[in-house]
Structure 1
């Protein structure tokens, strides 16, 4: 009977307090790839723990040697709650994904009508006649777009432009939009007192840091930093991934651009923590079953 309680407590801990505490651990950002895996581990472990708590309680009551009406009722209620949690996740995922893809299709049609292709700028880049300096990518399977405004082209130096294009293409290659979509689903699926906005905000930042590092390897840290400051005045439209549309996060990203030292030990420890988080709820659920064999 202790297993469902422990799993429930773990689910609540990983959904709220843990993300808020982890978001304050700024040192983890120095290994952004491992940190992103850790955040995914926290999210997945929270879901596994929540579902496992209900299943563990249901099976514990149902497999009693002499089940009474109360035990059957508790097992049924536990299964119902588990089904509601899973159903809410799936429904939110469907609604979020449908809305985003419809938004991107509509935006893509507008871009194809209003944007100008300029191969001198870059292959597959669309330029919009707009004064505000903006750069963003619009993800899509085989139909992605990199978009620049005329204001951005007029203000960016050649090396800065190379950095911006490398940044946006890094987002598209890594499909950061799918990671952000998954965390948006988790954030919207549950009440605010359960879910934490810290996870979504931190994952957004880490995705930008990873794209920044790819761009810095291509064009250098200084041109990228200058480009990000230039683009800070603009904001990417909903459904896209922009280079610089968060002033607070931008300060952090520029500070992290100074990071040149590799941290293999920290990365290994962070990845190990992510793996341990996934093993923990699984062990709580599977352990009692194996012990009864």
Structure 2
């Protein structure tokens, strides 16, 4: 009697295989793809998968950073070191340059997060990108949960949640007319916990900001913001030194930290496994403007 050897992939291996398939589909179907890279954990994992998808050849597209100028220094240092180490092509869309040229205007509160959108759209147009891959996940926010893996954008870069293409049997339609483009989300089916377990299992390097460390912070709206050149405490907001880490990174004026003692990746995983609040819900002030804040921005062209 012949015995059969069963071969089964783990959950993370299935997610990895799906994401690599999606990335290869982008390169196969599109003429000028790019990969959005912020130096955050999701874009780091996405870039890791992209390099794995085409190894030993280099990734056949540039990485694109929409730079608000209000970044955490650890993240920019990581981005530049990562680019140099892996010989990547980096395209930067600068919000500061757009402000200087009068293309966008900074908000009264000093935040530049919302004015990233026109800079992103301008960068896509100037470089002729017909597809932009990003590390957004469906579990982050309910507007993201509505979006397809291949998300069609019209000639103005806008998203219509009622006009999306079917994705039956994991078949993706990347056909676009001149001026139109596709936003692609290879990590759609991953969760925050999946990301961290993958980082741990594959020794993926991330910025130190994700691990608990001492930082000068103050409380605002129930969240802990770092006191730095971009974000200053108001009257009555007391600065204290606390052990914190970041669950997500973005505009330093509105991205908050969380109190944490997780000084290793294993401890971070334990924290994430126990939490019931998404990272954006817990740490992003820009998503607290309204229930539809993210969806409104995505309709305007936000990633």
Asked if these proteins are the same fold (TM beyond 0.5), I'd say no
Q: TM-score, normalised by structure 1?
A: 0.23
RCO higher in structure (CA 8 A, sep ≥6): 1
Of Structure 1 and Structure 2, which has the larger fraction of its residues in strand?
A: 2
Of Structure 1 and Structure 2, which has the larger fraction of its residues in helix?
A: 1
